[in-house]
Amino acid sequence: MNYLLDTHIALWLIQNHEKLNKEAKSILLNPQNKIWFSVVNIWEMSIKHKKGDAQKEIIEPNLFYQSLLERNYKQLDINAYHTLAVKDLPLIHKDPFDRMLIAQAMSENLILMTADEKIEQYPNLNLYMI
């Protein structure tokens, strides 16, 4: 299976956070699954890190990126097709990072792994909810 990580899922994995359940960990650690992270994840973490919001779970962006690469996860870049797909999404979620991840997952036929309940409202999205 092919999974695309929402930023918080990637962060929880790196931090071995209790919010990441056994089933999700099993999926993420199974070498038969292809796990993708988006440059959107790195971009979002960079902004959160710069803000220094102590209430948010954050990690230094270079460390975040290297941790994903060390797990042999695949990097998904943003292309014009992805950005054009955003215009066709219903305005359910206002977060531009999440909207791009949704567009990428739909465009690339990936299963988006998330705990964000708003994302469940998008039709025709392959989704794995934690």
Distance CA 11, CA 3 (A): 15
Q: What is the greatest pairwise CA distance in the chain?
A: 37
- One-letter amino acid at 42 equals I
pLDDT at 4: 98
User: How large is the average pLDDT for residues 69-74?
Assistant: 96
User: How large is the average pLDDT for residues 88-109?
Assistant: 95
Distance CA 94, CA 27 (A): 28
* Chain segment 10-29, per-residue pLDDT in tens: 999 999 889 999 999 999 99
Q: Which domains does the chain have, with CATH numbers?
A: 2-129 (3.40.50.1010)
Enumerate the β-bridge partners of residue 2. 34
89 pLDDT higher than 70:
yes
